[in-house]
Every structure is written in C-alpha cells, then in structure tokens.
Amino acid sequence: MIDFSKINLENTINSGQVFLWKKQKEFWYGINGQDILKINNFGKITSYSGNKYDFFRNSDDIEKIIKSISKDKTTKLAVEKYFGLRLIRQDPFQCFISFIVSSNSNIQKIKSSLEKISMKFGKKIEFDNKEFYIFPEPKKIANATIQEIQSCGVGYRAKFILDAAKIVESKQIDFNYLKKINYKEAKEIILSVPGIGNKVADCILLFSLDKLEAFPLDRWMIRILKKYYLEKFQLETKTITEKQYEVLHEKIIKHFGVYAGYAQQFLFKMERENYQKNWL
DNA sequence: CCAAGGCCTGAATG
DNA sequence: ACATTCAGGCCTT
C-alpha cells in the first residue's frame, strides 16, 4: 500500500520552484511573501504570523494526479524516482517578481538577487532567534528607483521589476482574480506585463495561481522533450517561437492531461538531477 | 510568422 | 591572468 500523502521536502524545495529557503538543523525556513514558514521533517508547517497555508497543496488528490500524469515510461520513472515531490502554492507577488528575475539567469543568481531585494526592501523579522527579511510588499518596490533595484544585481530586469510592482500596486493585476479565472485568460493578462513571456508566465500560473495545466517550457524542458518525446511532439525546430510554444503546449495537454504541470515538475527534477545541477 | 542579435551579471570554462 | 561562454528568456528589429 503506497502512502500518497508522504511529502519529500528536500526534493520539493530543491526543484526550482522557490528560492528563499534554507535548512537549519532539522528545519527548513522559508520566506513566503509577508510571512516566514518553518517546516519540520514531517512536512508540518508553522508560520511566523500563525496563519495556515496549504503550501504543499495537500488539498490536491495527489494519488489521482499521479495516476493521471503517468502516461508513459519516462513520466512513470520520474514519478517513482521522485515520489513525494510536490508542487508548491506560493505567495503570488513573490512568485511574480521571482520569475521576472529568473529570466535568462540561473538558480544561484536568482537566489542571490532575491535575497538582496528582500534585504533592501523587506522588513527584518526575528523568528526562532534567527533573523529574516520577509519579501517586500508591492508598494515598497513600486516606490523604489531603478538604481536601487539594480543594486540588487538584477541588471536590465530592474525596470521590468519596478513596472511589474507598479502594476500590482495599482491593482491593474489582481492575483485573487487571476486565481478565479481559467488558465488561458489568466495567462493572457500576465503576458501583458513587460519582461514576462511564455515561460515566466507559466511558472507564475503553476506555482502561485493554481493553474495546474501550465507547463513551463524552458531550455531544460525542451531538452527533455527532445530526448524522450521527439516523435510524439514533433520537435524539429531549433528555437521555440510564441506560436510553437502554444502548439507544443496543446500537444502536451493532450498527452499528459489537465495536471500536466505536475508532470513537468517531476520531469524537470529528474533531468536536472541526471545532470547533477545544483539547487539552492 | 520566423530568425537573429542584444542584454546585466557572475560563475564556469578555455 | 584574461577572454569567452553560458545560464531555468524576453524584446526589438
């Protein structure tokens, strides 16, 4: 009898979804928006504020999802190998900024930039006798200058970050609304933000806005698809244009189903581990 | 609609 | 040492 409720914390945190996490002794500590989460080995969450979070999406029927996405040998292997890997439901604004920062970058640098952003613009909080800087509120970034944001090592993304924060602050984008509408509608809205393209939009939708059919296609996923699904998805072109991204996504949904985002996370994790890439 | 080039930055590679 | 390449893209031409 398989216990589907089991969560593998290490694999989940080290799968490119979140960046402001660190392990101290037997606990993982992480910044989730305006809050700090502390997680023990059993996946039990306590928070600085006392608020409750379904951070690991326990309300999802994981058994049903695993069965639903296990459509081929490769996915079955990934799901088995990284059993307990979960998608995370993270703070939308932090996720939004994090993946704008992530574009054309790598995990170590994303982490470093986000730490600097938190330290510069976020509140310092003591929790468990440790110091943390929580993620800044939209207003705080929206009122900053490009130079201040650039000092966090984000380069040309500084303007994107500033404008994105302004868009959220002015309520042109309302994450609670995006959660209610469907994937395609929400994606169209997110894509209107400068600095956000298909891949970044899908990350935001999948990791913070409950759109499980989002399937971020980055260099790694393209590499994976070419390796294991070459004929199935007919990947003959070198670069993925906007149109090709859309067409490919449709084929992916047809194959993996509506929980494709989960499949993506397992495949991504497996391939990165195969190449022994570092995480946090 | 597609292809090519530029872009901040820091670590890795030659 | 120093130059070049590359990294979880996006935008403009």
| A243-265 per-position pLDDT tens digit | 999 999 999 999 999 999 999 99
Q: Which of residues 156-215 of A touch strand B (CB under 7 A)?
A: 156-157
Interatomic separation, CA of residue A54 and C1' of nucleotide C2, rounded (Å): 51
- The answer to whether position A199 is within a domain reads yes
Question: For chain A, how many structural domains are there in total?
Answer: 1
In three-state form (DSSP H/G/I as H, E/B as E, the rest C), the secondary structure along A246-279 is HHHHHHHHHHHCCCHHHHHHHHHHHHHHHCCCCC
Chain B positions within 7 A of any protein Cβ atom are 1-4, 7-11
Average pLDDT over residues A97-117: 95
- Residue A258 domain-assigned (yes or no): yes
A199 Cβ within 7 A of any nucleic strand C atom = yes
- How much is the pLDDT for A17? 96
User: How far does the CA of A280 sit from the C1' of B9, in Å?
Assistant: 18
pLDDT at A280 over 80: no
- A230 CA → B10 C1’, Å: 34
Residue for token digits 């294991």? A228
Q: In this structure, what DSSP letter does residue A1 have?
A: -
Average pLDDT over residues A178-201: 97
Does residue A279 fall inside a structural domain?
A: no
A104 C-beta less than 7 Å away from strand B: yes
A2 found inside a domain: no
Angle at A165 between CA A160 and CA A170, to 5 degrees: 130
User: What's the CATH number where A102 sits?
Assistant: 1.10.340.30
Strand B and A257 CB separated by under 7 Å = no
Report pLDDT for A278.
79
pTM: 0.97
Residue A3 lies in a domain: no
Q: Is residue A149 part of a domain?
A: yes
**Distance (Å, rounded) from C-alpha A29 to C-alpha A173?**
29
* Across all strands, nucleotide nearest A16 (CA–C1'): C8
Contacts of residues A169-174 at CB distance under 8 Å and 24 or more positions apart, as own/partner, are A169/A138, A169/A139, A169/A142, A170/A142
Give the model confidence (pLDDT) of A149-165 as tens digits. 999 999 999 999 999 99
Residue nearest to nucleotide B8 (CA to C1'): A155
Identify the CA nearest to A165 among candidates A117, A116, A103: A117
Residue whose tokens read 């999406």: A57
> What residues have CB less than 8 Å from A203, skipping those under 6 apart?
A95, A99, A102, A214, A216
Q: Tell me, yes or no, whether A17 lies in a domain.
A: yes
Dihedral pair phi/psi, residue A39, rounded to 5°: -125, 130
Whether the per-residue pLDDT at A2 is higher than 90: the answer is no
Residue A247 counted as domain residue: yes
Residue A20 lies in domain = 9-83+90-274
A70 CB neighbours strand C below 7 A: no
Residue A4: which pLDDT band, with cuts at 50, 70 and 90? confident
Q: What is the mean pLDDT of residues A17-35?
A: 95
Q: What is the pLDDT of residue A5?
A: 85
* Per-residue model confidence (pLDDT) at position A189: 97
Task: Point out the nucleotide closest to A105 (alpha carbon to C1′).
Answer: C7
Per-residue pLDDT tens over the stretch A196-243: 999 999 999 999 999 999 999 999 999 999 999 988 988 877 678 999
Query: Is the minimum distance from the CB of A158 to strand C below 7 Å?
Result: no
Strands A124-127 and A45-47: unpaired
In chain A, the N- to C-terminal Cα span, in Å, equals 33
The pair of structure tokens assigned to A91 is 């703070």
CA A153 → C1' C1, Å? 25
Q: Which residues of A184-205 are buried (b: 16+ CB within 10 A; e: fewer)?
A: eebbeebeebebbebbbbbbbb
Nucleic strand B near CB of residue A147 (< 7 Å): no
Q: Is the pLDDT of residue A276 over 90?
A: no
The reply to whether the CB atom of residue A90 sits less than 7 A from any atom in nucleic acid chain C is no
The rounded mean pLDDT for chain A is 94
**pLDDT > 90: percent of chain A:** 88
